[in-house]
A and B are shown apart, each in its own frame.
Chain A
Amino acid sequence: MSGTKELKRRIKSIKNTKKITKAMELVAASKMRRAVATTVASRNYAVAAWQVLNAIKDLDSVDHPFLNTSDPKNVLTIVITSNRGLCGAYNTQVIKKVIGYSKQESSEVAQKYIVVGKKGSAASQRMKLDVVASFTDLPETISLRDIKPIAQFIIDEFKSGSYDHVQVAYTDFVSALAQKPRLKQLLPLEVSELRSSIESLDPHDHSIETDTREYIFEPQASELLPELVEKLITMELYQFFLESSASEQSARMMAMRNANESATEMIADLTLVFNKARQANITKEISEISAGMASVE
């Protein structure tokens, strides 16, 4: 019976693992749903904020550092990764995207990084990236309050002129089955790009059409603009975080579902082997007994 005992133990341990992966899958699925719901809820605000920005018609004539495009010399990249593993290729994909970018960028451009998440922070040390800040203690369900310090830091640094371009490497939540790593420019604000990204949030909304009404501004538009632009940037960053968080959870859900399936398969295979071994033992015992009987007779 020595072989079957070993097999029994293995089946039991795989069954335990399966229980854990199943639980993790369910948890990830519910967290994903929550993250998606938050993303949807924040869209109203994004669309409305865009409308206000749109109402400031002579946007192009406004001289504001956030709107001045120039060739990048000092680039700050924000890399959004997760704190925990067991989520398939989620972190690897984002990090690969960043590596791809840092290699292709010309050497005259100074690259600095802000890394979010323990996984990214470990990877950035391996890659010897120039990290200016690293945020590893963000909660799993991100609220705007958690993003504000990061956004403020970026805005302050950009204003002081330390950087002339800010971009974000995050994971776009396409669906529960597909997530795409992306690199998007956050600053300076590309009005046309912002427009398309907000329109993609809400393709059926016609209210984004150009507003022809003449608005009164209180205070002056030039005074309102900086605050509005800062809010929009914070908002955009918040959405990147939400997308990433939804992607992380769905990647984890898929990884755990796969683990669950292979555990089921392994249990089936091992059970077959176990049954065969058990049957072989029984057959052996019976033949031993009948051989013993035969010798007695």
Chain B
Amino acid sequence: MKSFSLHIATPERLVLSQEVVSVSIPTKDGQITVLPGHIPLITNVVNGEIVAKTAHDVLPMGVLGGFAKITQDGVTILADFAEHVHEMSEDVVQKAQAKAAELAAMKETLSKEDFEHFEAELERSLMRVKVASKWKNMDAAVAKYNQSKQ
């Protein structure tokens, strides 16, 4: 099976560096799925989920904003923040949920600067909740993903 290298880097760490056969990226104009041999493309990435497929495995990840550089030999994604779904344990998700609720309640009372700070936090929490709950039941979610790609 043809494959290409996928690197996902955030300012804080290299989240993923692996050979994959396809990857779906959320962009401003909708989701794109990259297969080996894609023409060179540079696009922005919006908040959502990146789904990479290796020969045997599906790797779902949550992502917050960034860029993707796609060439024939590989894809590099520069994200502000990215996280594997398996890193989002039950605990983390629950905390994120609580945090999101708390932040939403605080929205009214915050000053502009504080709000900007918390908005990023809120986005992160919401992304975690959304992506983690979708992929909670891994097998079913993988089946659904495969179906949508056929």
Interface residues of A, Cβ cutoff 8 Å to B: 38, 41-42, 44-45, 48-49, 51-52, 55-56, 143-145, 148-149, 152, 213-219, 221, 224, 227-228, 231, 234-235, 238
When distances are taken between beta carbons in the complex, the residues of chain B under 8 Å from A55 are 40, 42, 69
Q: Can you show 6 pairs from A to B with CB atoms below 8 A apart?
A: A42-B13, A45-B10, A48-B78, A51-B76, A52-B67, A52-B76
Q: How far is the CA of A216 from the CA of B72 in the complex (A)?
A: 13
**In the complex the two chains form, is A148's CB within 8 Å of B69's CB?**
no
Contact pick for A224, options B13, B39, B44, B71, CB 8 Å: B44
**Does the CB pair A215–B7 fall under 8 Å?**
no
| A residues near B28, Cβ cutoff 8 Å | 218-219
Q: How far is the CA of A65 from the CA of B66 in the complex (A)?
A: 21
Contact B40 A216 (CB under 8 A): yes
Residues of B within 8 A of A148 (CB): 117, 120
Instruction: Name B11's contact: one of A45, A56, A149, A221 (CB within 8 Å).
Output: A45
Verify B71–A213 contact, CB threshold 8 A.
yes
Partner of A51, one of B14, B29, B69, B113: B69
Query: In the complex, A144→B13 CA distance in Å?
Result: 11
By the criterion CB–CB under 8 Å, are B9 and A44 in contact?
yes
Q: Return B128 CB to nearest CB of chain A, in Å.
A: 15
The 7 A-B pairs at the shortest CB distance, nearest first, are namely A218-B43, A45-B9, A44-B9, A215-B40, A213-B40, A41-B13, A44-B14
Mostly helix, strand, loop or mixed at chain A's interface? helix
* Interchain CB contact under 8 A, B29 and A218: yes
What residues of chain A lie closer than 8 Å to B27, measured between beta carbons? Answer: 218
Q: How far is the CB of A245 from chain B (nearest CB, A)?
A: 14
How many positions in chain B have a CB within 8 Å of any CB in the partner chain?
Answer: 28
Contact for B42 among A41, A143, A215, CB less than 8 A: A215
B28-62: which have CB < 8 Å to A?
28-29, 39-44
CA distance A291 to B93 in the complex (A): 87
Instruction: Check B12–A214 contact: CB distance below 8 A.
Output: no
Give the Cβ gap from A230 to chain B, nearest Cβ, in Å: 11
**CB-based contact A48/B120 at 8 Å:** no
Q: Are B42 and A149 in contact (CB under 8 A)?
A: no
Q: Which of A41, A44, A145, A218 contacts B120 (CB 8 A)?
A: A145
Would you call B116 an interface residue if the criterion is a C-beta within 8 Å of the partner chain's C-beta atoms? yes
Given A52-B69, A219-B28: A41 in contact with B44 (beta carbons within 8 A):
no
Minimum CB distance partner of A227 in chain B: B44
B40 & A224 in contact (Cβ 8 Å cutoff): no
CA distance A52 to B9 in the complex (A): 13
Instruction: Name the one of B10, B43, B78, B117 contacting A217, with C-beta atoms under 8 angstroms.
Output: B43
Find out whether the CB atom of B7 lies under 8 angstroms from the CB atom of A143: no
Distance in angstroms from A141 CB to nearest chain B CB is: 11
Chain B contacts for A227, CB-based, 8 A: 44, 67
A213 / chain B contacts, CB cutoff of 8 Å: 40, 71
Contacts of B78 in A (CB 8 A): 45, 48-49, 52, 231
Which of chain B's residues has its CB closest to A228's CB?
A: B67
Contact with A along B100-132 (1 / 0, CB 8 A): 000000000000010011001100000000000
Known: A218-B27, A218-B29. Contact between A44 and B7, CB under 8 A? yes
Q: Using Cβ atoms and an 8 Å threshold, which residues of chain B touch A152?
A: 116
Which of chain B's residues have a CB closer than 8 A to the CB of A44? 7, 9, 14
List residues of chain A with CB within 8 A of the CB of B43.
Answer: 217-219, 224
A238 lies within 8 A of B69 (CB): no
A38-B42 in contact (CB<8A): no
Bound-state CA distance A221–B44 (Å) is 10
Q: Which residues of A contact B116 (CB under 8 A)?
A: 149, 152
Asked if B12 and A42 make an inter-chain contact with CB atoms under 8 angstroms apart, the answer reads yes
Smallest Cβ-Cβ distance to A234: which chain B residue? B11
B112 CB to closest chain A CB, in angstroms? 11
Determine how close the nearest CB of chain B comes to the CB of A238; give it in whole angstroms.
6
Q: Chain B residue with minimal CB distance to A47? A: B9
* Contacting residues, chain A, for B41 (C-beta < 8 A): 215-218
Assembled-state Cα–Cα distance A52/B69 (Å): 7
Give the CA-CA distance A231 to B80 in the complex, in Å. Answer: 9
A116 to chain B, nearest CB (A): 16
- Whether A41 pairs with B14 at a CB distance below 8 angstroms is yes
